[in-house]
């Protein structure tokens, strides 16, 4: 894996030494927005208009951040409007690739072999990490946005006029709650597993594992009372937690050494995970083969021989008990 510096590829692992053994995630850099009419985004970001067939989503099926956008695309009925290409699960010295012999869909749109080419097509002098997901604008021939949190919000709204889909995963009156849960979940769970797994100092690893399990314990308590993270309505907060939970026992527990408990050991979290997995359309976005092969085969510093474990057997289609709590599904816009 590596990064681009002034448009040139450098094969480099994360530099934890410079941060005392800590993995520090770089912020996404391409943050333009898509809106119904091309007006600016919610914080004044430059906007582009929503049009059928204009945008294309580049993802890895292994990546929890990209997975958020795939679920939103499905729930919001965007499949006919926004195409998808997925990388090979392996992210090695050349970064993400579109090698079909390794399990990628290939890239019929731009015909690139390497994901980094989409970044240098966007900016020949691009400097930064080359990440998925990335939303591509076919008209301007560039990446519009490479931040999954933004793409979740864009998909929630921008294309409603074209699809007629009124589902609202970020309802105005729940935003304060959603933002607060998201902040905790991002820091300690979504990114927390990486901070533990990529730590190169014992004390740093221990600090992040403890913070991760303290957060999971808090979530377990919350989900004893509430069907979903923001209460009776399923929101983006649930999608954002789900993509980490569904990888947890299969990958983070072993590969990232997040092994104080499994999700399976938490009654509420495990039932909640199964409810979300069984939500119409969601299971089809989960590819545990890509997930396990990606982590165990790509991170040679952690697992040098690239052996992929045989288990665990997750059986996410087992019944769940969440119907005991009041739930109203996904809100419709008024």
**Residues with Cβ within 8 Å of residue 206, at least 6 apart in sequence:** none
Q: Which stretch binds ligand GSH (CB under 6 A): 126-134, 165-173, 256-264, 285-293?
A: 126-134
Query: What's the Cα-to-Cα distance from 2 to each of 89, 92, 185, 225, 323, rounded to whole Å?
Result: 16, 8, 27, 44, 45
Contact 60, 86 (CB under 8 A): yes
| Beta carbon of residue 37, minimum distance to ligand GSH (angstroms, whole number) | 25
Per-residue mark of binding to ligand GSH, 62-101 (x: CB under 6 A): -x-x------------------------------------
Kindly give the interhelix angle for 267-277 and 236-247, rounded to the nearest 10 degrees.
Answer: 110
Is 131 annotated in some ligand binding site? yes
- DSSP label of 166: -
CA angle 238, 244, 133 (to 5 degrees): 90
| Beta carbon of residue 202, minimum distance to ligand GSH (angstroms, whole number) | 23
Q: For residues 43-62, which are near ligand GSH according to CB under 6 A?
A: 60
Contact 91, 66 (CB under 8 A): no
Among 148, 235, 243, 287, the residue binding ligand GSH under the rule CB under 6 A is 148
CA angle 121, 123, 125 (to 5 degrees): 120
129 belongs to the binding site for ligand GSH (CB under 6 A): yes
Output 88 or 148, the one with its CB closest to ligand GSH: 148
- DSSP label of 309: P
Catalytic residue among 194, 205, 277, 295: 194
154 belongs to the binding site for ligand GSH (CB under 6 A): no
| Beta carbon of residue 240, minimum distance to ligand GSH (angstroms, whole number) | 9
The position carrying tokens 């919610």 is 42
Judge whether 63 counts as a catalytic residue: yes
Judge whether 258 counts as a catalytic residue: no
30 belongs to the binding site for ligand GSH (CB under 6 A): no
Is 33 annotated in some ligand binding site? no
Contact 199, 218 (CB under 8 A): no
Contact 146, 29 (CB under 8 A): yes
Q: Among all residues, which ones are annotated catalytic? A: 63, 194
Footprint on this chain of ligand GSH (rule: CB under 6 A): 1, 28, 60, 63, 65, 129-133, 147-149
Bind-site residues for glutathione? 96, 129-132, 147-148
């Amino acid at each position: 894996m590596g990064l681009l510096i002034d448009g040139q590829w450098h094969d480099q692992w994360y530099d934890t030494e410079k941060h005392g053994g800590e993995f520090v995630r770089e912020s996404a850099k391409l943050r333009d927005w898509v809106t119904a009419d091309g007006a600016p985004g919610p914080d004044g970001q430059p906007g582009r208009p929503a049009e059928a067939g204009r945008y294309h989503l580049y993802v890895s099926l292994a990546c929890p951040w990209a997975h958020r956008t795939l679920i939103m695309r499905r729930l919001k009925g965007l499949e006919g409007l926004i195409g998808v290409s997925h990388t090979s699960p392996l992210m090695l010295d050349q970064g993400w690739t579109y090698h079909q012999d390794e399990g990628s869909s290939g890239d019929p749109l731009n015909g690139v072999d390497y994901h980094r080419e989409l970044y240098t097509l966007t900016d020949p002098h691009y400097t930064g990490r080359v990440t998925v997901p990335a939303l591509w604008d076919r008209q301007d021939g560039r990446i519009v946005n490479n931040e999954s949190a933004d793409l979740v919000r864009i998909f929630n709204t921008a294309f409603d006029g074209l699809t007629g889909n009124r589902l609202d995963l970020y309802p105005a009156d729940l935003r304060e709650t959603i933002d607060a849960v998201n902040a905790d979940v991002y820091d300690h769970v979504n990114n927390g597993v990486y901070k533990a797994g990529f730590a190169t100092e014992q004390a740093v690893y221990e600090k992040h594992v403890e913070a991760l399990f303290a957060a999971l314990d808090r979530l377990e308590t919350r989900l004893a009372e509430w069907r979903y993270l923001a209460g009776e309505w399923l929101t983006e907060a649930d999608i954002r937690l789900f993509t980490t939970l569904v990888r947890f026992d299969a990958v983070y527990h072993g590969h990232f050494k997040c092994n104080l408990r499994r999700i399976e050991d938490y009654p509420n979290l495990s039932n909640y995970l199964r409810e979300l997995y069984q939500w119409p359309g969601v299971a089809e976005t989960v590819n545990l083969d890509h997930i396990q092969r990606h982590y165990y085969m790509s991170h040679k510093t952690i697992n040098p021989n690239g052996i992929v474990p045989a288990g665990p057997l997750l059986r996410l289609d087992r019944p769940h008990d969440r119907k005991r709590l009041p739930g109203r599904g996904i809100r419709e816009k008024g």
